């Protein structure tokens, strides 16, 4: 079967695939690094859109691929097999997919600060600078195991220090390690990974963050604040939701961004009752938006899967098209 893959930079690649191969397998065999994470149909990182042709979707969870997305033509590259010739669209520039696999790096902890309830900001010194797009993430190896965990970068790219905003879960492997970790300890990481990154510097952006889903937004916002192109951006708005007011983190970084980016504003919602903040979920803040507000706006959503699903449903009701909704689900480790 012939598979034409179209990319966001208007490039096209022709692949051939056997009936047994997934789209990812066929791409890999022919030197194309299809974006992938779990390889098991549960994370959605490998999603593409089938423009024409028929496929077998294979295994997938609702978290990774909803029925609505299937109806709209979406499929998971790591699971999908072609049943006919296909035209497939990947919302990534081809240039990125021709690069070598992300390197394995060594890092040591230079800071591990508690910045809110059950939330730490981990800062790592790398053995070499890492090039990433604001919004992408690294995988950290849990010390003493062969397990890896994904954490989004919070800082501006291309530094030899990287930050991560991490929620400490009860009895989580990495969470338990971080509760006892000390400055100077060495960690292994790979990166960058992921397709959640700032797409457009000129049109308005609305970022919806749940809990530590704020992390990648901090990277995007600080990058915007340091970028001349951001002056063309009409506005950047952050809708930030937490369960409890004590979980609100990194307001100092938001204040610093605001000083450099006058069009930036943020609103906080707290699920539990709070005297100071609006009660509800981050996605409830979308109830204030009208169809006129969302025209030409790109939406970035990051956080727990139910928040992303609720946000996408609301945006769809407001008439926002799928291409304008960029999201990443913080799915628990597989
Ligand atoms: C793309 C991506 C980016 C991410 N970025 C971030 C980020 O920037 N910040 C962030 O905080 N998180 C992020 N995450 C989530 C992160 O990768 C981890 O999943 C999270 O930190 C939990 O890891 P852990 O090792 O502490 O817990 P795990 O060991 O994975 O356990 C998770 C929870 O499940 C429970 N559990 C484990 N095993 C069982 C069992 N057998 N039965 C019942 N319960 C069980 C644990 O008690 C714990 O509460 C991201 C996830 C993805 C997919
Ligand atoms: S890489 Fe395909 S669903 Fe995770």
CA distance 253 to 242: 17
CA distance 97 to 255: 36
Instruction: Using the mean position of ligand 2's atoms as its centre, give its distance from the Cα of residue 60 in Å.
Output: 8
User: What number of other Cβ atoms are within 10 A of residue 285's Cβ?
Assistant: 22
* CATH dotted code for 205-329: 3.40.50.80
Contacts (Cβ under 8 Å, ≥6 apart) of 172: none
Half-sphere exposure of 188 (CA within 13 A, CB side): 11
How does pLDDT run across 174-221, given as a tens digit for each residue? 999 999 999 999 999 998 888 788 877 778 899 999 999 999 999 999
| Burial grade of 201 (CB within 10 A; 0-12, 13-18, 19 or more) | middle
How does pLDDT run across 213-226, given as a tens digit for each residue? 999 999 999 998 88
- Across the chain, which distance is largest between two alpha carbons, in Å? 61
Residue 19 near residue 85 (C-beta atoms within 8 A): no
The DSSP annotation for 19-41 comes to TTSBHHHHHHHTT-----SSSSS
CA distance 86 to 88: 6
The CATH architecture to which 2-97 belongs is: Roll (3.10)
Please give the number of the atom of ligand 1 that sits closest to the Cα of 215: 8
How does pLDDT run across 285-311, given as a tens digit for each residue? 999 898 888 888 999 999 999 999 999
pLDDT of residue 26: 95
User: What number of other Cβ atoms are within 10 A of residue 180's Cβ?
Assistant: 7
User: Of 307, 271, 93, which is closest to residue 197 (Cα–Cα)?
Assistant: 93
Assess: ipTM above 0.90: yes
Instruction: Using the mean position of ligand 2's atoms as its centre, give its distance from the Cα of residue 229 in Å.
Output: 33
Structure tokens at 128: 């070499």
The CATH architecture to which 104-193 belongs is: Beta Barrel (2.40)
Strand order in the sheet with 148-152: 148-152, 137-141, 186-193, 104-116, 119-126, 161-167
Average pLDDT rounded to a whole number, residues 243-265? 94
How does pLDDT run across 37-91, given as a tens digit for each residue? 888 999 888 999 999 999 999 999 988 999 989 999 999 999 999 999 999 999 8
Distances (CA, A) of 229 to 190, 217, 234, 296: 29, 17, 11, 17
pLDDT of residue 319: 92
What are the backbone angles phi and psi of residue 269, rounded to the nearest 5°?
-125, 145
pLDDT of residue 131: 83
Domain residue ranges of the chain, discontinuous segments joined by +: 2-97, 104-193, 205-329
Q: How far apart are the first and last CA of the chain?
A: 32
CA 233 and chain centroid, separation: 21
Ligand 1 proximity of 194 Cβ (cutoff 6 Å): yes
Ligand 2 proximity of 75 Cβ (cutoff 6 Å): no
Instruction: Using the mean position of ligand 1's atoms as its centre, give its distance from the Cα of residue 170 in Å.
Output: 10
């Amino acid at each position: 079967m012939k598979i034409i893959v179209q990319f966001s930079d208007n490039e096209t690649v022709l692949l051939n695939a056997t009936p047994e191969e997934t789209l990812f397998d066929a791409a890999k065999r022919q030197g194309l690094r299809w974006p992938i994470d779990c390889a098991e149909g549960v994370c959605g990182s490998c999603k593409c859109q089938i423009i024409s042709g028929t496929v077998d979707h294979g295994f997938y969870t609702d978290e990774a691929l909803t029925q609505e997305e299937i109806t709209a033509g979406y499929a998971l590259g790591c699971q999908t097999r072609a049943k006919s010739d296909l035209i497939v669209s990947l919302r990534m520039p081809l240039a990125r997919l021709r690069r070598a696999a992300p390197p394995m790096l060594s890092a040591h902890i230079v800071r591990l600060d508690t910045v809110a309830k059950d939330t730490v900001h981990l800062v790592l010194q790398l053995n070499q600078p890492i090039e990433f797009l604001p919004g992408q993430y690294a995988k950290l190896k849990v010390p003493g195991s062969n397990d890896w965990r994904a954490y989004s970068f919070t800082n501006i790219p291309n530094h030899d220090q990287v930050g991560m905003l991490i929620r400490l879960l009860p009895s989580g492997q990495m969470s338990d390690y971080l509760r006892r970790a000390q400055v100077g300890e060495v960690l292994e990481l790979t990166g960058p990974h992921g397709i959640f990154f700032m797409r457009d510097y000129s049109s308005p952006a609305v970022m919806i963050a749940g809990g530590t889903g704020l992390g990648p937004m901090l990277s995007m916002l600080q990058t915007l604040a340091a970028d001349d192109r951001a002056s063309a951006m009409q506005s950047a708005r952050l809708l930030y939701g937490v369960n409890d007011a004590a979980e609100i983190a990194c307001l100092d970084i938001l204040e610093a961004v605001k000083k450099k980016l006058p069009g930036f504003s943020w609103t906080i919602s707290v699920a539990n009752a709070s005297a100071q903040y609006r009660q509800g979920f981050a996605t409830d803040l979308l109830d204030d938006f009208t169809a006129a507000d969302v025209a030409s706006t790109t939406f970035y959503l990051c956080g727990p899967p139910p928040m992303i699903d609720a946000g996408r449903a609301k945006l769809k009701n407001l008439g926002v098209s799928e291409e304008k909704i960029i999201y990443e689900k913080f799915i628990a480790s597989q």
